[in-house]
Amino acid sequence: MACTVAFTPLSAADHEAVARLLHRSLVDWYESRLRQGARFGESHEPFRIFPEVYEALDPGEAVTARDADTGDLLGVCFSHERETHVAVGIVSTAPEAAGRGIARAMMQAVLDRARELGKPARLVSSLLNLDSFSLYTRLGFVPGAIFQDLLLTVPAEGLTVPAPEGSERVRLARADEAALLADFEQSLQGIRREKDYAFFLANTAGSWRVLVSRDVAGAIDGVLVVSDHPSFTMIGPGVAANERSATALLWHALDLLRGRTVVFLVPCAAAGLVRTAYGWGARNVELHVAQSTAPVAAARGLVFPTFLPESG
């Protein structure tokens, strides 16, 4: 079966096929390898948010693989070019087309474009899925920081623990602060993505809230995005100067999600933050690793990665 791989604008009509492919491939992979297919639910409907958000954010930057004869969708991955890098979102191949090099071909298209742009590519990959881990490392990605995926159900009345130190200096970001937040992230992490922050603040696709923290002198010391969309309850992306501001931001993010079950990723190296999250009731559900074709030297602070839009 021949197949064509290309950057493709996704029309509204494609969203259904993409959502079905994402759901089917995840359920199949996690059920056949780990008996955990049920994690992804029974319906593909919540997965519509992936093509909807990616197409609104970066139109035409998805890569699709299609059967050359029938045009059927066999694979999809999402790329998004930013000032300093190209980020890659979820990579997925239809189960019946697995092992034929489709994911590799889609990733190669993204890497070719990144090379043309002279930018590194970045992504976050599961440490439970060695097929995708090795797909990326074979293509030249280098694993970096490791993250714990933590699951927590926030009580309907909010967390019962008192607000942590510094939480009084956390507020919702203003609509005109995208550049400020991007500058802050760049100063710590060496990557810049103002477009993402502008997208979250405009809040026209998906459902986002952006929290910002300031230190006692009034300088920004953290930013954390919350998705409270019914299809995608997640905290991140975010970056904080230290564990204190990360903890204050996380507490506020959880408070915005009262009564909901949420996943968030925190660096394994942030031992104090992890311990605090356990104390709030969080449970480990997976591990992820940041991978990049050119890691940023001496990145500082703590990051909260996310899966949509994948932040790297």
**Residue ranges that bind ligand COA, judged by CB under 6 A:** 25-26, 29, 90-93, 98-104, 125-126, 129-132, 134-135, 138
> What's the min distance (Å) between Cβ of 124 and ligand COA?
8
> What's the min distance (Å) between Cβ of 240 and ligand COA?
25
Residue placing its CB nearer to ligand COA in the complex, 117 or 130: 130
Residue placing its CB nearer to ligand COA in the complex, 5 or 220: 5
Q: Could you tell me the two tokens for 61?
A: 């930057």
> What's the min distance (Å) between Cβ of 191 and ligand COA?
19
Residue placing its CB nearer to ligand COA in the complex, 98 or 151: 98
What count of other Cβ atoms lies within 10 Å of the Cβ of residue 118?
A: 6
Q: Which of 265, 291, 237, 308 is nearest to 52 (CA)?
A: 308
> What's the min distance (Å) between Cβ of 150 and ligand COA?
18
> What's the min distance (Å) between Cβ of 38 and ligand COA?
15
Residue placing its CB nearer to ligand COA in the complex, 143 or 158: 143
Are 131 and 172 contacting, i.e. CB atoms less than 8 angstroms apart?
A: no
> Which string of b and e fits 61-96 if b means at least 16 CB within 10 Å?
bbbbbbeeeeeebbbbbbbbbbebbbbbbbbbbbee
Q: Give the Cα separation of 218 and 306 in Å (integer).
A: 27
Q: Could you tell me the two tokens for 72?
A: 């059927």
Provide the 8-state DSSP code for 193: -
Are 191 and 84 contacting, i.e. CB atoms less than 8 angstroms apart?
A: yes
Q: Could you tell me the two tokens for 49?
A: 């948010």
Tell me how far CA of residue 159 lies from CA of 48, 256, 258, in angstroms: 30, 10, 8
Residue placing its CB nearer to ligand COA in the complex, 7 or 278: 7
Residue placing its CB nearer to ligand COA in the complex, 34 or 175: 34
Residue placing its CB nearer to ligand COA in the complex, 33 or 300: 33
Q: Could you tell me the two tokens for 70?
A: 């029938």
Total count of residues recorded for the chain: 312
> What's the min distance (Å) between Cβ of 40 and ligand COA?
10
Q: Which of 173, 221, 167, 165 is nearest to 197 (CA)?
A: 173
Pinpoint the alpha helices (H) of the chain: 12-34, 49-57, 102-117, 130-138, 178-189, 194-202, 243-255, 271-279
Residue placing its CB nearer to ligand COA in the complex, 134 or 261: 134
User: Using CB atoms within 10 A of its CB, is residue 290 exposed (0-12), middle (13-18) or buried (19+)?
Assistant: buried
> What's the min distance (Å) between Cβ of 289 and ligand COA?
11
**CB nearest ligand COA: which residue?**
103
> What's the min distance (Å) between Cβ of 41 and ligand COA?
15
